[in-house]
Amino acid sequence: MEESRMQVQQILKDKADDGVVTVPPATTVAEAVRMLAERRIGGVVISEDGQTPLGILSERDIVRVLSAQGADVLTATVDALMTTNLQTCTRDEDSNVVLARMTEGRFRHMPVVEEGVMVGMISIGDLVAAQIAELSMEKEALQGMIMGH
């Protein structure tokens, strides 16, 4: 049985919403927190035009800074806290490679970028769910072969 290579594109297609939530750099941390909570997401991309990623801000980033600096940080702008050495991937990358990069780098969200423009966002949860679905299909196929179907 040949090992299948699931690409990021397939995972983006399967997501109910592949839109990327972005905020401009001047957004306050409090506004970003509200957006994360309302949309039930774990990270937001900082972008001036909604297409070019400047950085990313995650719930974990916010909690870490809140712990160190206190509630005053909520009035700061997101560009002061965002991670700027942004890791991105493309649609045709192998999902296992992307998962390994995220695990190694200890981050959970990665913008999908094509020619400098964001086309989606992929999370570690998306990657794990896709792997589980793929394993389930392989299991069913093997069971079918064993039972002669």
Domain ranges of the chain: 8-146
Amino acid letter at 120? G
pLDDT band at 1 (very low <50, low <70, confident <90, very high): very low
Closest CA to 8 of 73, 133, 97: 97
pLDDT: which is higher, 2 or 26: 26
Q: For residue range 29-64, list pLDDT tens digits in order.
A: 999 999 999 999 999 999 999 999 999 999 999 999
Most confidently modeled of 47-51, 115-119, 138-142?
47-51
Q: What is the 3-state secondary structure (H, E, C) of the chain?
A: CCCCCCEHHHHHHHCCCCCCCEECCCCEHHHHHHHHHHHCCCEEEECCCCCCCCEEEEHHHHHHHHHHHCHHHHHCEHHHHCECCCCCECCCCEHHHHHHHHHHHCCCEEEEEECCEEEEEEEHHHHHHHHHHHHHHHHHHHHHHHCCC
> Rounded to the nearest 5°, which phi and psi values hold at 92?
-95, 10
Of the listed ranges 23-27, 96-100, 134-138, the one predicted with least confidence: 134-138
pLDDT: which is higher, 2 or 71: 71
Q: For residue range 81-101, list pLDDT tens digits in order.
A: 999 999 999 999 999 999 999
pLDDT band at 2 (very low <50, low <70, confident <90, very high): very low
Position 34 scores a pLDDT of: 96
The answer for residues whose C-beta is within 8 angstroms of residue 72's C-beta and 6 or more apart is none
Tell me what percent of the residues of the chain surpass a pLDDT of 90: 63
Q: Topology of 8-146 in CATH?
A: CBS-domain (3.10.580)
